[in-house]
Amino acid sequence: MKSILSLAGWNWRLSRRAYGILCIAFGAQQLAVLLWQASRPALLGAGLAVYYAEGFQPQAFALALLLAGLLAAPAANDRQRAKCSYTWLTLPLPPGARLAAHVLTAAVLELGMVAWQLALYLVYYFPVQALESALAMDRMGTAMPAQNLYEQLLNSEVAHYLLPKRPRQLALMVAILLLSALLLTCVRLHRGWRRGAAVVLGVVSGFCCLALLEGEIDTTLYGSLILSSTLLLLVAIPLAAAAFSIWWALRAIRRAEPA
């Protein structure tokens, strides 16, 4: 376990600069988009949750989350880091430990991006609210009623997907996080047509996980979960993808297929 944590720490040191740039760029674009949406006359007073959705920020967050996971294994196949790649391939560690370290790093980076998005949403409420009030005073001559931060959080897609409402939803979100970390690690490990196949496998699994999460959220809101063949298929595909990805990644590491 100590060797896995040490290797994960090494991965973090190699990727932290790019990760910091990604977080700063994501935060800057989100603030710019939210302020621009708030300044549109058609959306005056709509609230932070509406600005977030209209500005395609859920899609931007999903992209940033994927990029964060892909930053987790720079030593495995970065051609500009020949010494790092050689060191990684010759480490006196079993393939399983090397894979676990990369998956752990990817999961931590993705979890950090989730926390960063939640923090940004809470912080950006205040400048957006101030701009709304200023524009309302300028265009209508009167201040608009202040919108409650709690209401904006409940109405947003941030809370819809990132804040679990019961233990089963939390467990599902943790499983999805680990699966995405594994699949993104496999994308970095493989090359050539294998990388393309890993991307396809990740896309299919991602749609299944999103459908499962939507079903769990709807169950929380509207009633009990009903077992069906579709539900079992949605569960079976990610599980099979995880098992196959682990076997495939370990095989690639043993054969020194990563570049």
Cα distance between residue 256 and residue 259, in whole Å: 8
Specify the pLDDT at position 258.
45
Instruction: Give me the residues of the chain with pLDDT under 50, please.
Output: 80-82, 257-259
CB of 255 closer than 8 Å to CB of 192: no
Specify the pLDDT at position 228.
65
Q: What are phi and psi of 146, to 5 degrees?
A: -65, 135
Query: What residue has token string 């973090």?
Result: 12
**Which of 241, 259, 248 is closest to 99 using CA atoms?**
248
Specify the pLDDT at position 161.
81
Cα distance between residue 19 and residue 33, in whole Å: 21
Query: What residue has token string 């947003």?
Result: 156
Q: What are phi and psi of 192, to 5 degrees?
A: 65, -140
- pLDDT for 88-103, tens place per residue? 566 667 778 888 888 8
Cα distance between residue 197 and residue 206, in whole Å: 14
Specify the pLDDT at position 73.
64
Specify the pLDDT at position 77.
52
List the domain boundaries for the chain.
1-163, 164-259
pTM: 0.84
- What is the H or E stretch that residue 225 is in? none
State the angle between helix axes of 167-189 and 95-140 in degrees (0 to 180), rounded to the nearest 10: 110
CB of 80 closer than 8 Å to CB of 197: no
Cα distance between residue 77 and residue 15, in whole Å: 13
